Homo-oligomer: A and B are copies of this chain.
Amino acid sequence: MQKLEKIIGYKFKNKKILLEALTHPSFFFKESYERLEFIGDLILDAIVGIYIYKKYKDKDEEYLTNLKSAYVNKNYLKKVADKIGVIKYSKYVGEPPNRTDKFLEAIIGAIYLDGGWKNAEKFIKKFILNTQLEPLRDYKNLILNYARKIKGVIPEYEITEIKGPPHKREYEVKVKIKGIRNIGKGKSSSLKEAEILAAKSLYEKIIKS
């Protein structure tokens, strides 16, 4: 844990709270990271949002929302967590947990409780906001608007496959718009993300055609 504190650049007064952030529900449900992840997620959203708001004074709400999504989405946070190597310091039972982004959010919650807003902000600036990212477009909304305006309909999403046990699901989603031949497909461990990927694939086909 001392080594982890060195990597993240914050020394905890109360070590128990860091331990809690590193405990996966499979190891000890009652004292796992889940409550810390709850506040960590909210604190991360607020800090990233305020940072972006202040930095991009001439950008509209849509741009701010999409840029925030780029920084707080699961995939990017997983990369950050894996770079720090949180899994090496975590406690779990069975297979190593895949959602390392949840540990990262819990660590943010832990830093906030132990060291306040300023220290949480410092951590987020150092590890999350340090990379320049492109806004993540809201593809579901883009094809919704397209379908409404051009065809007067709503895109239809359909789950075509669900694989794997409850904690390791894999979803496949198909999306189509009445009156358009192209079909979008997406696969992910999260249903929401599979839909976004399906929307993205359909959007890109429409743009090209």
| Closest residue of B by beta carbon distance from A62 | B34
Among A11-19, A37-45, A92-100, the stretch that binds chain B is A37-45
Residues in chain A within 8 A of chain B (CB atoms): 34-35, 37-39, 42-43, 45-46, 49-50, 53, 60-61, 64-65, 112, 117, 154, 159, 162
Q: List 26 A-B contacts (CB under 8 A).
A: A34-B60, A34-B61, A35-B53, A35-B60, A35-B61, A37-B61, A38-B49, A38-B53, A38-B61, A38-B64, A38-B65, A39-B46, A39-B49, A39-B50, A42-B42, A42-B45, A42-B46, A42-B49, A42-B50, A43-B46, A43-B50, A45-B45, A45-B46, A117-B117, A154-B159, A154-B162
Please, which residues of chain B bring their CB within 8 A of the CB of A39? Answer: 46, 49-50, 53
CA distance A39 to B45 in the complex (A): 9
Closest Cβ of chain B to A47, distance in Å, is: 9
Closest 3 CB pairs of A and B: A34-B61, A46-B46, A42-B49
CA distance A42 to B117 in the complex (A): 14
CA distance A64 to B34 in the complex (A): 10
Please, which residues of chain B bring their CB within 8 A of the CB of A46? Answer: 39, 42-43, 45-46
Please, which residues of chain B bring their CB within 8 A of the CB of A37? Answer: 61
Closest Cβ of chain B to A97, distance in Å, is: 15
| Closest residue of B by beta carbon distance from A152 | B162
CA distance A64 to B38 in the complex (A): 8
Closest Cβ of chain B to A115, distance in Å, is: 14
